[in-house]
Amino acid sequence: EKSALKQEVDELKGRISAPGSPKALVGSPVGSPKAVGASGVRGSGMAGVGGAAPFEFRWSLGGHAVTVTGTFDQWTRSTHLTRQPDGTFRGTVDIPFGSRVLYKFVVDGIWRIDPEQPTEVDSTGIMNNVAVAGPSEWLH
């Protein structure tokens, strides 16, 4: 599985760094018109320190208390999202470039996926949201 992930990362790097090539992956950086939607993960488009970038998780399907958790924090529910004036919840996490992240939202104590974002069923049959971190924006 590690070699398959390494191959996927190498392919992504090649597609992103090819001179003159269009962006090969789909995603919406924070602040772009496409970044308004149901919820999900959005990239800031700005590189962070040490090969990572800040990524914003966003939930807009209601609730009073929302956290996001996943492979980026070993499923420890460490990232509490903040309610915004528009009713969405947002929080930012630094994610290493090339990381493939499985994640879920915990809304008022209930584990939820965002049905409008890509999903994947893991080896135990559990469905999670999934995203791949690129060097300049969240790509999924």
Query: How many independent structural domains does the chain possess?
Result: 1
pTM score, whole prediction: 0.62
Read off the pLDDT band of 55 (50, 70, 90).
confident
Predicted pLDDT of residue 3: 58
Predicted pLDDT of residue 5: 53
In this predicted structure, the answer to whether residue 46 has a pLDDT above a threshold of 60 is: no
Predicted pLDDT of residue 104: 97
Q: How far apart are CA 131 and CA 72, in angstroms?
A: 11
What digits encode the pLDDT tens for the residues 106-118? Answer: 999 999 999 988 9
- Tokens in use for 8? 């996927």
Q: How far apart are CA 18 and CA 2, in angstroms?
A: 24
Q: Which domain holds residue 110?
A: 2-139
What digits encode the pLDDT tens for the residues 62-93? Answer: 999 999 999 999 999 989 999 999 999 999 98
Q: How far apart are CA 87 and CA 36, in angstroms?
A: 12
In this predicted structure, the answer to whether residue 38 has a pLDDT above a threshold of 50 is: no
Which residue(s) pair with 29 in the sheet? 43
Residues ≥6 apart with Cβ < 8 Å to 107:
59, 61, 62, 63, 65, 66
H/E element, 8? helix 2-17
Predicted pLDDT of residue 41: 47
Q: What is the Cα gyration radius of the chain?
A: 15
Q: What is the CATH number of the domain that holds 106?
A: 2.60.40.10
DSSP 13-41: HHHHHSTTPPP-S---BTTSGGG-SSEEE
